[in-house]
Amino acid sequence: MSERAVRVGITGGFGVGKSTVAAIFGSLGAKVVDADAVARRLLRPGTAEYAAVAREFGPGIVGEGGEIDRRALAEKVFGREGELEKLNRILHPRVLSIMERELASGPEVRVGEVPLLYEAGAQDLFDCVVAVTAPDAAAAERVGSSRGLSLREIEARRRNQLDPSAKAARARYVVDNGGTREETVRQVQAIFREITQGG
* Rounded Cα–Cα distance for residues 101 and 111 (Å): 13
pLDDT, tens digit, for every residue of 40-91? 999 999 999 999 999 999 999 999 889 999 889 988 988 677 898 999 999 9
Could you tell me which of 144, 155, 185, 174 has the C-alpha nearest to residue 9? 174
Q: Please state the pTM of the whole predicted model.
A: 0.89
pLDDT, tens digit, for every residue of 128-144? 999 999 988 776 676 65
pLDDT, tens digit, for every residue of 45-58? 999 999 999 999 99
Compute CA distances 40 → 68, 89, 93, 108, 179, whole Å.
9, 15, 14, 27, 30
pLDDT, tens digit, for every residue of 166-196? 999 999 999 999 999 999 999 999 999 999 9
Domains contained in the chain, CATH given: 6-196 (3.40.50.300)
